[in-house]
Structure 1
């Protein structure tokens, strides 16, 4: 049996329901930066895009350790969060910062280990399908 004890990174996916602050990407840009720094990540760049007319926004923090992204649907009170980090950075800490800002009534979170060390490509393909 192959060793699955160590992975290259952690991928956290969170659905934020009945969330707030889903319209304005300007303060969210700072929140993405703070979420990355709190997790121990190194921020390379933060970009946001406003869809206008209070239609929500998309934001991405490009990190040396990978990324944090968010896409909002204010009309549904919903935000989709994707945090992928490697090294010593902690995606759960990032999520805590984002939850404190967006104040969702409920969050559903999945954590996935990515890139198992010591597992061959052939073995990964066979195990995955």
Structure 2
């Protein structure tokens, strides 16, 4: 059950960026990042909070064959949290997890990033 768990806290994200409030745009960005990293998305769910006023954030999850990626946006704070976990049971997916996190960070273009990582199992 060995795995790598990566998180990133993003600040200074433009609240007008579509990924912050548009579930379809976030789903496309997550799907593209998953595929480009060489991981396998098997399901996704994007949920927008509050009224469709352009200010409500999103919680999005992509279930991976290798584990998951979760994204939480707070447009009112210009903040995003990212969570990527991959299992390394059948092979080492660590580089793919890092590539996925890097792609999502780049998509949000934050002012600052705080990263964390844990080896699990």
Same fold by TM-score greater than 0.5? yes
Identify the residue that residue 30 of structure 1 maps to in structure 2. Answer: 28
Normalising by the residue count of structure 2, what TM-score does the alignment of the two structures yield? 0.83
Secondary structure at 1:75's aligned position in 2?
Answer: coil
Q: Count the aligned residue pairs.
A: 109
Give CA deviations for 1:11-36 in whole Å, capped at 9, x if unaligned: 00100111132111211101111221
Segments of structure 1 that go 5 or more residues without pairing to the other structure are 1-6, 116-129
Matched, 1:86 2:87: yes
Give CA deviations for 1:86-115 in whole Å, capped at 9, x if unaligned: 233321101111122111011100011010
Segments of structure 2 that go 5 or more residues without pairing to the other structure are none
CA RMSD of aligned residues (A): 1.4
Identify the residue that residue 62 of structure 1 maps to in structure 2. Answer: 63
Identify the residue that residue 9 of structure 2 maps to in structure 1. Answer: 15
Normalising by the residue count of structure 1, what TM-score does the alignment of the two structures yield? 0.78
